[in-house]
Amino acid sequence: MESNRQIKFRTLELALVLFFMRSCAPENFPKAQNVTWSSVNFKSILTWSPKPTNYSYTVEFSELGQDRDRTPHCIKTMATECDLTAELKNLKAYYSADILSEPMRGVSSDLVEFPHSRSDQFSPYYDTAIGRPEFKIEVSSDKRKMTLHVTDVPTTLFNKDNKRLNIRDVFGDHLQYKVTYRKAKSTGKKEKIKKQHGEISSYHCSPEDNPSIFEEYSVGVMAGAILIIILAITAITIVIVMCCRRRKRAKNTGKEGLPLSGV
């Protein structure tokens, strides 16, 4: 059996080997790529690639000119996105973010500075995309007035009372909708700047109880129908006249073939 001295020596030898192997082995943490901000109705998410294998990502963000900060759910994460909606409190400010490539949780590293990738600048107020609004059309009983009711798009933001805000709450007097309308069956369009910002809505038609034939069909269609009717009447008239002439001729021919009666 080995003595205690030999066992200690072998243990020390193994520890030195592992130390030198670790010191010589390069730590490879790939940088994040395709770092992109995406925001719809103020839900602001930072995304990147690739999916990590033996390392993790940590997101650091800051308002321009301010100290950097972190959010707990985006520290040493294996995900490739980070929802920063609740963190970007100053909506009109511009922010930037860094994605750090780090060891996984519970794994140490000798690196002092980890590889990182920086995002472009982003402002929730100016860069978010607004979804399409919902609306309905109300027509008066005398059919002379049509009212458009637009529902403001809800956002992912909440006020201090935990009430969900809509885009009017955020943009205030700067909110505008662009309304485009036209008469049914026509190609001409008219526009009215009522309030505009964001994606175009779906199309709706006002209700019509008994539309007249002039409203239902265009002038070209009606002119074509009238022309067809005139041609049909003319053709029928010509056929009737020709039939009458043939009958008259046949009748006259029959009379000429008869013998003369006595005087």
Give the pLDDT confidence score for residue 83 in this predicted structure. 97
3-state secondary structure 85-140: CCCCCCCCCCEEEEEEEECCCCCCCCCCCCCEEECCCECHHHHCECCCCEEEEEEC
Rounded-to-integer distance, Cα 64 and Cα 93, Å: 8
CATH code of 23-127, in short, is: 2.60.40.10
pLDDT (tens place) for every residue of the chain, 263 residues total: 556 665 655 665 655 544 444 443 346 789 999 999 999 999 999 999 999 989 999 999 999 999 999 999 999 999 999 999 999 999 999 999 999 999 988 887 777 789 999 999 999 999 999 988 898 989 899 888 889 898 999 999 999 899 999 999 999 988 888 888 887 777 767 676 674 446 666 666 666 555 565 555 666 777 777 888 888 888 888 888 888 887 777 777 665 554 544 43
Q: Say how far residue 192 (Cα) sits from the centre of its chain.
A: 23
Q: 0.95 cut: is pTM over it?
A: no
Phi, psi of 186 (to 5 degrees): -100, 165
Pure H helices in the chain: 4-24, 124-127, 167-171, 213-216, 219-256
Residue 213 token pair: 């034939």
